[in-house]
Amino acid sequence: MTNPSRHDNKMMDLIRNTIQQNMWRAGAIAILRLISVALGLLYVKYYTSTLSIEEVGKFFYLGTMSYILNALVFVPVDSYMQARLSSLKSLPWPALRRLVTATLLIALIACIILSTPFISMNLLSRQDIPLLYGLASMLYLCSSIRNLLNIRGQANFSASMVVLESGARLLAFVLASLMWKATAQTLLSSSIVALAVEFAILIWQARRSLPFTQEVAPLDNSFHIIRTSAALAGGAASNTVQLQGYRVLFPALGHSNTSAVLGVTANIGAVAMSACAQVFSQLYLPRLYQSQGRSIQQYALLATAMIGILLILAMPISTFLVKHLTHSEYIPYAPAIGIGILIEGCNLLIGAYSIFLTLRQKVGVLFRTQLLGAALSLTACLILVKFNPQTPLLLGMGIALSQLLATALLGIYVYRLKKLEY
């Protein structure tokens, strides 16, 4: 006969071991993210010290063009792919290879088409096209494999790759700036080289450790993939215009300093929030996929609490951070660190809502909500660029408010939809 007391002791030991394992896992990921943040901040410090404000503004301009391409093609396909693969035990390598190859080809065509008007208006040179495409495609490949590894239980390895990426970007730009003239193009080129190194390691680890099969059947029919990806593309593109549009609009109209100042200071907060968000995502995102979205409320509540705590910790030392991480000319705009935290924190929540809506095949709501956010943000940018273009903080506040509204609307819709289901 089994001793109940002994059984209870075994159960308590199991619970205790599980808690300890999760704590160690969270601690390991947090340490890796802190290293990544430190390297990221050193990267910001180095390129803002090496490049002129005009070159920093140009870097943000070119980088934003690349991110727009990423949002139009790569992000939607990866969002669909991660949601689709979350329900599969084994991964069909031929189908994934075809999907990725087709995505890269479509992105190349889109890059050429979208760049043509900018080239004709002398807002972009032909030499910049390979940089825009190279950065977008390498970001897609690296983030996609990292996400897949994380969802499949390799959170520590995925986090270590982010550290590698941060360090490789810094090292690559330091070497490039010593060998050639430091420009926005040099910064972009060095980023592509660093991402290529990371991709080589990621693809080796994925092929070695993930359960790939040689099944030739497609993941879904082409119409379903295109329809889902198109709705996600609309939402991602709207979000990019909403948050990054000023980096194109203001330099194009001769106000690159405003774009650079807001970009540099808000980026400090965004880097810190992004690091926390990545730790959080690596701990809770696999569960969101595995539960097919049922844990969304817990995810959203914990994420909101984390955003609030980071704001409380960061704002009192914002001037100190800007003083020691950038030039003295950025100090008056230190409050933009809070803007960066808010915007990036909302992106964490929107990402979770996007997964939930993709799993529920309700991505049209995501597109419409983010389109509204983009319209509000763009309106604020146009008003400011016409009447008061030298106000980086006011510009950041307009963008942050549009982001908060879009996040709140999505959260309300997801809450009501989940309530109807259960």
Mean pLDDT confidence for 113-132:
84
What pLDDT is recorded for position 70? 81
What pLDDT is recorded for position 141? 93
Residue 14 in this model has a pLDDT that exceeds 50? no
What pLDDT is recorded for position 42? 85
Q: Which residues of 7-33 are buried (b: 16+ CB within 10 A; e: fewer)?
A: eeeeeeeeeeeeeeeeeeeeeebbebb
| Alpha carbons 220 and 197: distance in angstroms, whole number | 31
**% the chain with pLDDT above 70:** 92
| Alpha carbons 287 and 291: distance in angstroms, whole number | 6
Residue 364 in this model has a pLDDT that exceeds 80? yes
Number of separate domains in the chain? 1
Q: Is 265 left (phi over 0), alpha (psi -120 to 50) or beta?
A: alpha
Of 229, 211, 218, 201, give the one whose Cα is nearest residue 94: 218
Residue 19 in this model has a pLDDT that exceeds 50? no
Please give the residue that has the higher pLDDT: either 30 or 307. 307
pLDDT digits (tens, 9 = 90+) for 38-77: 888 788 888 888 888 778 878 877 887 887 788 788 888 8
Please give the residue that has the higher pLDDT: either 20 or 297. 297
pLDDT band at 197 (very low <50, low <70, confident <90, very high): very high
Side-chain half-sphere exposure of 416, counting CA atoms within 13 A: 8
pLDDT digits (tens, 9 = 90+) for 314-347: 999 999 988 888 778 888 889 999 999 999 999 9
Q: Does 277 reside within a domain? A: yes
What pLDDT is recorded for position 413? 93
pLDDT digits (tens, 9 = 90+) for 60-70: 778 878 877 88
Is the separation of the CB atoms in 338 and 395 below 8 Å?
no
Q: Which two tokens stand for residue 101?
A: 């190859």
Handedness of CA 134, 137, 143, 148 (dihedral sign): negative
Q: Does 384 reside within a domain? A: yes
Q: Does 235 reside within a domain? A: yes
Of 119, 69, 114, 120, give the one whose Cα is nearest residue 244: 69
Q: Does 7 reside within a domain? A: no
Mean pLDDT confidence for 22-43:
74
Structural domain including 212 reads 25-421
What pLDDT is recorded for position 11? 45
What pLDDT is recorded for position 201? 94
Is the separation of the CB atoms in 280 and 412 below 8 Å?
no
| Alpha carbons 150 and 355: distance in angstroms, whole number | 15
Mean pLDDT confidence for 277-306:
85
Q: Does 148 reside within a domain? A: yes
Length of the chain: 422
pLDDT band at 217 (very low <50, low <70, confident <90, very high): low
What pLDDT is recorded for position 1? 46
Mean pLDDT confidence for 362-387:
90
Q: Does 12 reside within a domain? A: no
Mean pLDDT confidence for 271-298:
83
What pLDDT is recorded for position 9? 53
The full DSSP string for 74-117 is IHHHHHHHHHHHTT-SSEEHHHHHHHHHHHHHHHHHHHHHHHHH
Q: Does 222 reside within a domain? A: yes
Residue 37 in this model has a pLDDT that exceeds 90? no
What pLDDT is recorded for position 405? 95
**% the chain with pLDDT above 90:** 24
Residue 18 in this model has a pLDDT that exceeds 50? no
Please give the residue that has the higher pLDDT: either 373 or 19. 373
Q: Does 229 reside within a domain? A: yes
pLDDT band at 220 (very low <50, low <70, confident <90, very high): low
Quote the mean pLDDT of the chain: 83
Residue 162 in this model has a pLDDT that exceeds 90? no
Tell me how far apart the terminal alpha carbons of the chain are, to the nearest angstrom: 41
